[in-house]
Structure 1
C-alpha cells in the first residue's frame, strides 16, 4: 500500500509541475500574446494580426484546411472573415481552459478552448466552440506563434 501511495504522490507531483501556474511570467506572456492576436483579429486589423505570427507559420484548421505563412493567413482572414458587409466574427477565449507548457530553448505551448460570436444585422449571437493549440516561440525579444492547430469546431456548448 505504501508503494501505491508513493507512486500516486510522484505522479501527482509530476502532473502539477508540467503545466505553468497562472501566476508565472511565462503563462502571463503567452496569454498576453493570445490577447494581442485576438484583439487585432476581432477588429479585423489583419496587418497587426500578421506581426504576431512567424513568417513561416503553419495554421491547420479542421474545417478550412492548411494556411502557410503569415501573409497568407492575414489575407485569408481579411478575405474570408472581414470582407462581408454587416457581418462580423468575434473570438472569445475561455480563460479557465488555458494551459501553458514550457518548451525549453524555444518558447511555450498554449492550449485551450474558445467561443465564436457572429454579429449580423447588428445582433450578436454565440455561434461556435473549438479547441486550439499554439506553439509560441520567443526569439529576438518577442513572442510569435509558429504553429496553430484549430480543431473540434462545432456548435457552442
Structure 2
C-alpha cells in the first residue's frame, strides 16, 4: 500500500512539474501586422538615431505636443521638459547610446489611434568605439498616427 501511494505521489508531482513547465514557457511573439511592426521599428531607429547623434531638432519631431513621459524615478514630464532632458543629455552626456535588446520589442495596433510598442533597451557609455556600463530598462511607447506621420504621445520608462 505504501508503495502504491508513493508511486501515485511521484506521478502527481511529475505531472504537476510537466504542466508547470509547459505553461510557464512564454509564448514566442509574432507581430499582428508585420507592416506595422516594421514601420514602428523604423521610426524607433530614426528617433534614437537622432537621440544618439544629439540631433534635438529632429528628435523633437517624433513627439506629440501633448506628450506625457512617465519615468519611474523622475516622475511625469511634458513635451518641453522631455525635449529639455534630451538636450541636457546630448550636451553633457554625448557618449550615451541607446541600444534595443534583441528580441525584446513587441508592437500591437491600437484601433483608430496607432500602436503600442513595448521592449527593453540599454543605455550605454560609448568609449573608444565600445559600448560599456550598460543599464537595461523597460519601456512602453504609444505611437499616434497623425497627419504629420507617426509620433509618440505617451512614454512609460521603468525598471531603473
Query: Which residue does the alignment assign to 2:57?
Result: 47
**Once superposed, what is the RMSD of the aligned Cα atoms?**
2.4
Query: Which residue does the alignment assign to 1:68?
Result: 78
Task: Give the strand-richer structure, 1 or 2.
Answer: 1
Check conservation: 2:51, 2:90, Cα contact below 8 A: no
Would you say 1:125 and 2:132 are equivalent positions? yes
Larger Rg: 2
Would you say 1:77 and 2:86 are equivalent positions? yes
Q: CA 1:84/1:142 → structure 2, altered by over 3 Å: closer, same or farther?
A: same
Query: Which residue does the alignment assign to 1:149?
Result: 156
**Cα deviation per residue 1:58-108 (whole Å; 9 max; x = unaligned)?**
111112221111x321111112x12227x5210001230111111000000
Structure 1: distance between partners of 2:101 and 2:149: 24
Q: Is the partner of 1:55 in helix, strand or coil?
A: strand
**Cα deviation per residue 1:9-38 (whole Å; 9 max; x = unaligned)?**
xxxxxx88x9624x7111111111111110
Query: Which residue does the alignment assign to 2:41?
Result: 31
Task: Give the helix-richer structure, 1 or 2.
Answer: 2
What is the TM-score when the length of structure 2 is the normalising length?
Answer: 0.75
* Residues matched between the structures, number: 134
> Mind listing any 5+ residue stretches in structure 1 that lack a counterpart?
1-14
Query: Which residue does the alignment assign to 1:104?
Result: 111
What is the TM-score when the length of structure 1 is the normalising length?
Answer: 0.76
List, as ranges, runs of 4+ consecutive aligned residues in structure 1 with deviation greater than 3 Å.
Answer: 119-124
Q: Is the partner of 1:96 in helix, strand or coil?
A: coil
